[in-house]
Structure 1
Amino acid sequence: MHSVVSRSLKVFTTTLAAALLALSTPALAAAAPQQAQCANHQAPPPPVDTSEKPAPGKQVPPPLAVPAVPVGGDRMAECGLITPNGALNPPDGNTAASWLVQDLDTGAVIAAKDPHARHRPASLIKTLLALVVVTQLKPEQVIVASKEDAEQECTCVGLVAGGQYTVDQLLHGLLMHSGNDVAHTFATALGGADAAVAKMNALAAKIGALDTRAATPSGLDGPGMSTSAYDLSLIFHYAMKQPEFAQVVATKNFEIPPAGGKPAIPIWNDNKLLGVYPGFLGGKTGFTDDARHTYVGAAQRKGKRLAVVMLRAEQKPTKVVDQAAKLLDYGFALEDDHAAPVGQITYRAPAATPENGDRPAAADSGTGTGNSGTSAAASAAKEDPFGVTGWIITLVVFLIIVGGFFVGHQRKKATS
C-alpha cells in the first residue's frame, strides 16, 4: 500500500513541477530584458565638477522612473549594439556611449547602442526649448533682452541688454550658434527659468520622452538633468515636423539686425556637416564637462531621411561630426539592404505622475506606425495589477491544496 502512496505522490510532484515550469518560463523570458540592467539605467554618470550641486535648501531630484516596458520596443532595452539580424556592425572609431539612427519619415529605429541609457544632453536640450518656443510664441513677436539675459555663461550670440529681437531672429541664434544668452531670453519670455524648464519637461512627458528631465533651459548641467539617445531622437523627430524648426537648423548663415545701439550680429551654423555631407538637413551640437560631446543631425538620400543622435562622445580619434557622418552612411546602407527595423520612435501620452500631472493615458503614435505591441503590453500590464507572478503563486497554492487532499485520500485508502 505504501508503494501506491509513493507512486501517487511522485506523479503529483512531477505534474506540479511541469505545470510550474510551463507557466514560469514565458513569464521569466518576458521579464529578462527588464532584469538585465544596463549601466546608467536610472541616472547619468556622476558629475565631474560642482555644476549639479543644488542651491542651498534644495535637493537633487530623484532619478526618473524607468518604464516597466521599454519605450520603442523590446530591443530598445538592450545595452550594447542593436543591429538587424545578420547586419554588419557599424564602422570602427565611434566614441559615443549611446547612439541611435532613425528613419525620420517612418520613425523606424535602424540601429542603436544602449538607446535608453541616461546621459546629459548639453545643448541638445535646446531642441526641446525650441519646441516650446515654436508652439507658444509667434515668430514676429518682439522680445527685449534684459541685462541678466545678456550676461549668461557663454557660448553666447552677443545679445545686448535692452535690444529688441524677434522670436525668429532669436531662434536662429539658439539653434545655429547655441546661444545661452538666447536661451535665457526665451526662458524670461516664457515666465522665467523655472517656468520655462517646467514647460520643457511637461512637453517631454507629453510626447513620451520619459528619460528626459531638463534642469536648465540652455543645457548647462544642473541637478537632475537627464535624457537618452532614444528620447533625443524622439524630440528631434517631433521637432523636424515643425517647419520653422526645420528651416532654422538648415540655415548656414544668418544676421541679427543691429539692436540696442550695437551692430548687426552675424551667425554661422555650428554644425559642420551642413554644406559638406550630401543631403544634410541640419542638426545641433553640444558640450559640457559632464555631458561630454553630444550631437544630432539628419540627412536625405534617395528619398530617405535619416537622423543620428550621439551622447557622451569624444573628439578623438576623429571629430564627432565625422563619426556622425559614418553612422549616417551605415544607416543608409542598411536602408538600401532593406534591413528590418530594431525598434520604433513612438509618441505617447504617459499616465498621470507626480511630475507631469493628470495626463491622458491613451497612446498617440506620432508617426502613424507606432509600436502597438509595446503599447498593448503596457496596457495589459496596467490592467492586471495582480501580475503574472501573483497568478503563478496562486496556482501553486491551489495545486498544493489539491495535492494534499489527493495524497490524504490515497493514504486513507491504503490504511483501510
Structure 2
Amino acid sequence: MKVRLLAATATAVLLATGVPVPVSAGVPVPVSAGVPVSVSAGVPVAGSAGPTGRTASVTTAAAVPPAPCPRAPAPKVSRPPRPSPPPAMPEERAVGGPALATAGLVVPAAVSRPPAVTATSWLVADLDTGQVLGGCGPHEHATPASVQKLLLAATMLPRLDPAQVVTVTDGDMDIEPGSSAVGLVAGGRYRIETVWLGLLLQSGNEAANVLARLGGGPDGMAGGVRAMNEEAHRLGALQTHAVTPSGLDGKGQFTSAYDLALIARACFADPTFRRYALTETHRIPAQPAQRTKGFEIQNENQLIYRYPGALGGKTGFTDLARHTYVGAAERGGRRLVVTLLGAEPQPARGWEQGAALLDWGFSLPRDSTVGRLVEPGELIASAAATPPALAATGAPRPAAASGPLDEGLMGRWPVALLAAAVLGLAAAVLLRRRRSARRRTP
C-alpha cells in the first residue's frame, strides 16, 4: 500500500509540472474534468471528459496510432538540425477540441479525403464561425519563418498611426545578410503605412524591425517582441513563442498550424490589414538625403492573382522552417483560412498547396467541423475562473531551447528530482519487501 501511495504521489507531482511520466500497470493517472485523454505510444496524457476526481488507468496497450496525413512526394533537401520543441502539454494540444490533439490527420466523418501536400502540418478553418474543418498535426510545434509577421501585424496594427512619418535607424537594418528586405535605408523617412506594405508585400525584415521598435515602447524592439508574445497568449496561441519580429530563425521560436489560424483570424478581422493584404503594388518613395531613388514593390503572394475570391495572406521561408504559408479566400459568402508549415515547393509551391486545401474546405458542408478556433481572451478568462491549483498548469512557461536540452524542463528540475527521489524510495521499499519474502521462503 505504501509503495502504491508513493508511486501515486510521484506521478501527481510529475503531472503537475508537465514532466512525462512512465505508465505502469495498476498506477492510476488523475483525470481532469473536461480534458480529453490522448495517448501517444508510451506517453501518458492526463485528462478525460468526466466528473472531477475520477481516475483512469492509461497504458501503452490502449495507444491508437494517429491516422496518417496525405503526403505528396517531395525532393530531399538538406536543412539544419530541427530544434527541440517545447514539451508536449496536453492542455495546449487540446485547445479547440480534443480531436485536434493528434499528430496525424483529423477530418470530419464521411467527407472527401484532403489533397496530398508536402507540408508537415496544416489546418483549414472558417474565419467567421471559427469552425475548424480539418487539419494534419494542428498542434505540432514548427518554426514559422515570415508568417510570423502576421503576429507582428495583429499586435502592432492597432498601436501605430499609419500616417505617421518615421525615421529608419541603423539598428533596424540589422538583419541576416541575404535575407528578405524591402529596400528601406537607414536615415530614410517613411510613412508607417509604407513600412507595413513593405512588410506584407515584400516580407521586408528591416520593416519588421522598424514596426516592432516603434510599437515596443521604451524597450524598443525587445518590447515589441514581448508584446507579440503577450498578444499570442491573449489570442489563445499557447504554442507560439516569438524571438524575432520578422520570423528569422531564433532560439526557442515556435508556432503551430492551429496557432497561425488564430493569429490570421485576428489579422483578417482588421479592415486595414485586409486592404494591405490585397494591395498588388506600392511605390517606395525616394530618399534624397540618402541619394536613393524611389521604386515599386509587388505583392509576392500569388494567391491574390490566381485564386478567385482570394483575401490575401503571407508567405515564408527559411532553411530551417522550409516553406510556410497562410492564405484566405471567400466563396459563396464563406471565408476560409488555410495555414501550413514545413512544406517543400515541389511538386507544388506553398500557395498552390494552400489553394488546394482551400478548395477542399469549400467543398465540405457548412456544418462540417472537428473543432473550433477559440476566441481572443477566452483562455485567459477560463484560467481566471479556474481554482489556482488547476490554473497553475496553464501558466506561461519558458520556451524550449533550440537544442537537445529543454529550458522549460530545466526550470522544473527541482520538482522532477523530488519526484524521482520519491519513485526511487518506492522502488527501494518494494525491493526490500521482495528480498524479505525470499528469505522467508523455505
Q: TM-score, normalised to structure 1's length?
A: 0.71
Output one character per residue of 1:108-162: Cα deviation in whole Å (capped at 9) or x when no partner.
Answer: 1111111000001100110111122212111111210112323522210111111
Cα distance change, pair 151–300 in 1 and its aligned pair in 2 (3 A): same
In the alignment, does 2:364 pair up with 1:328? no
Report the counterpart of residue 52 of structure 2 in structure 1: none
Residue 379 of structure 1: how far off its partner (Å): 7.8
Match of 1:251, as an amino acid? T
Cα distance change, pair 315–200 in 1 and its aligned pair in 2 (3 A): same
Report the counterpart of residue 18 of structure 1 in structure 2: none
- Of residues 377, 381, 388, the one that matches 1:362 is 381
Matches within 5 A, 1:10-409: 31-33=36-38, 48-49=79-80, 67=91, 70-92=94-116, 94-153=117-176, 154-189=179-214, 190=216, 191-259=219-287, 260-334=290-364, 337-349=365-377, 361-363=380-382, 382=390
Output one character per residue of 1:275-308: Cα deviation in whole Å (capped at 9) or x when no partner.
Answer: 2100111000000111110000011111111110
Decide whether the 8 Å contact of 1:63 with 1:224 is kept in 2.
Answer: no
Match of 2:311, as an amino acid? L
In the aligned structure 1, how far is the partner of 2:100 from the partner of 2:372?
9
Compare CA radii of gyration and give the structure with the larger one.
1
What secondary structure sits across from 1:32 in the alignment?
A: coil
CA RMSD of aligned residues (A): 3.3
In the aligned structure 2, how far is the partner of 1:111 from the partner of 1:380?
34
Cα distance change, pair 68–278 in 1 and its aligned pair in 2 (3 A): closer
Cα distance change, pair 193–333 in 1 and its aligned pair in 2 (3 A): same
Unpaired stretches in structure 2, ≥5 consecutive residues: 1-25, 44-64, 67-77, 394-442
Decide whether the 8 Å contact of 1:64 with 1:211 is kept in 2.
Answer: no
In the aligned structure 2, how far is the partner of 1:72 from the partner of 1:87?
20
Decide whether the 8 Å contact of 1:144 with 1:162 is kept in 2.
Answer: yes
Cα distance change, pair 121–28 in 1 and its aligned pair in 2 (3 A): same
What secondary structure sits across from 2:135 in the alignment?
A: strand
In the aligned structure 1, how far is the partner of 2:172 from the partner of 2:391?
48
Decide whether the 8 Å contact of 1:150 with 1:158 is kept in 2.
Answer: no
In the aligned structure 1, how far is the partner of 2:259 from the partner of 2:93?
15
Cα distance change, pair 245–383 in 1 and its aligned pair in 2 (3 A): closer
Unpaired stretches in structure 1, ≥5 consecutive residues: 1-20, 40-46, 53-59, 352-360, 365-374, 386-416
Decide whether the 8 Å contact of 1:253 with 1:269 is kept in 2.
Answer: yes
In the aligned structure 1, how far is the partner of 2:168 from the partner of 2:154?
20
Cα distance change, pair 80–141 in 1 and its aligned pair in 2 (3 A): same
Report the number of matched residues: 327
What secondary structure sits across from 1:136 in the alignment?
A: coil
In the aligned structure 2, how far is the partner of 1:125 from the partner of 1:247?
19
Residue 338 of structure 1: how far off its partner (Å): 3.5
